[in-house]
Amino acid sequence: MTTGLPVSTILLITGFCLALIGLWGMLTQRNILRIIIGFALIDTGLHIVMVATGYIRGGTAPIIDAALSKADAARRAIDPVPSALVVTAIVIGLSVTAVMLAFAIRLYAAKKTLSIDAFTESKW
């Protein structure tokens, strides 16, 4: 692997690009389901970014076993804190997506359409 860029930079670019695609999708699509997909893309992109900030050059997974001794861990393990935070973030993202999908079902039941243009009551 001899790309000029460090691994975490590649991951950051990937994650932020995914978030931008999601933002673009949320702003341009008129279908509620596609807007939710855009949200999920932003979510995933930011998870990648968070994990990337924990990477340490030449690091490995913070699990002590035959491949990584306790004495070695301080030098070779990656930062475990962002990984632990991302587990939380994934669960919260799933929760928000589930609630949004439930609302989408309710909106569809109300208007028989999923286009955001049909819901003008709360438009300013």
Partner 1 sequence: MRRVFVIVTVALFALVFWRLIDAYSELQALRPLAQYYVVQGPIELGAPNIVTGILITYRGFDTLGEVAVLFMVAASVGLLLKSESTATATEAATEAEADDDSVPRRQPGEIVRTGMQVLLPMILTFGAYVIVNGHLSAGGGFQGGAIVASGAMLMLLARPGAALNVALLSVVESFAGVIYVMIGILGLVLAGGFLDARFLPRGEFGAFFSAGAIPLISALLGVKVGAELSVIIDRFRS
Q: Given the rule CB under 8 A, which residues bind partner 1?
A: 6-9, 12-13, 16, 19-20, 23-24, 27-28, 53-57, 61-65, 70, 73-75, 77, 79-81, 83-84, 87-88, 90-92, 95, 98-99, 101-103, 105-106, 109
Q: How far is the CB of 7 from partner 1 (least distance, A)?
A: 7
State which residue, 88 or 122, has the beta carbon closest to partner 1: 88
Contact 82, 53 (CB under 8 A): yes
Q: How far is the CB of 119 from partner 1 (least distance, A)?
A: 16
Element (H, E) at 85: helix 80-111
Identify the residue whose tokens are 């699509």.
Answer: 29
Contact 53, 78 (CB under 8 A): no
Q: How far is the CB of 19 from partner 1 (least distance, A)?
A: 7
Task: Look at the alpha carbons of 11, 16, 19, 25 in this order and tell me if their dihedral is positive or negative.
Answer: negative
